[in-house]
Amino acid sequence: MKSIYRLSILFCFLMLFGAAQAQQNLKESAVQRLVHAHDPSIFVATGALYLKQTAIRAVGGKPLSPALESEVDHIIDSDVRDPAWFYAAWSGAIEPFLSTEEANEIAAHFTTEGGQLQRQVIEQAIGEVLMSTYTFTNRIDYHLAGASREMQDLQRSVGPARGTCACPTQKELLDLQRVNDSRQFNGQDLSIYPGAVAFASGGTGVKYVKILMMQGVGSINTHFESVAKQIQQVVAAQK
């Protein structure tokens, strides 16, 4: 009897464990679907510019030697331009705060016409917060020479209306800091999309944007600072 009882307890435990694992797998799948709906280009470009300028500052503001620049670019390519870090960072930021149902709801919304436009607006707004943080703390300097490729990539990432000059005018600088693609988004009336209105009015949509503004931006900062330390160590080793 005791053996049968123990087997029954073990069977129940395994059933509960299997159900919990299945639920976790469903949640992870929903979160991955959601984060891969996002376009990481603004965040990648911001990080690449910041990290190239980190290397330039580490050598006293002088141009990087070809060998050092190649090594720094290799780090940026693998750790920032490859967006795997972005999806991992935002997955970790989002997963604790959204249910499976909420993640699926947002991901489904982002497949609609209004949802796609709303997603782009959200990314622009979060990019503005990120870029302002790095600009106002002098970690990004639009007049620091030596990062023309990264500057051009950033200008392209925030919208096709941007110029490609590596030394932006005052107007271009203000445009970059606003991170607002006027050609695409100004005058866009999202109120014609009922799903977009519902998303912005409260509940899951507002909750999601708050998560991205706090935990999402925080996860990006953490990753960039980790890569910045790696680059500083590489520069120090070559001095």
- Whether 107 maps to a domain, the answer reads yes
User: Which of 53-57, 141-145, 153-157, 234-238 holds the top average pLDDT?
Assistant: 53-57
Instruction: Classify residue 3: in a domain, yes or no.
Output: no
pLDDT in tens, 139-151: 999 889 999 999 9
Domain count along the chain: 1
Q: Which DSSP helix (H) or strand (E) runs through 99? A: none
Q: Which domain holds residue 189?
A: 42-238
DSSP category for residue 77: I
Lowest-confidence pick of 58-67, 89-98, 189-198, 217-226: 189-198
| Residue 31 identity | V
Identify whether 81 is part of a domain.
yes
For residue 189, is it within any domain? yes
Task: Write the CA distances from 239 to 36, 57, 151, integer angstroms.
Answer: 40, 13, 26
For the chain, what is the radius of gyration of the CA atoms? 22
Give the residue with greater pLDDT, 24 vs 176.
24
Token couple for 215: 């935990």
Report yes or no on 175 lying in a domain. yes
**pLDDT value of position 178:** 53
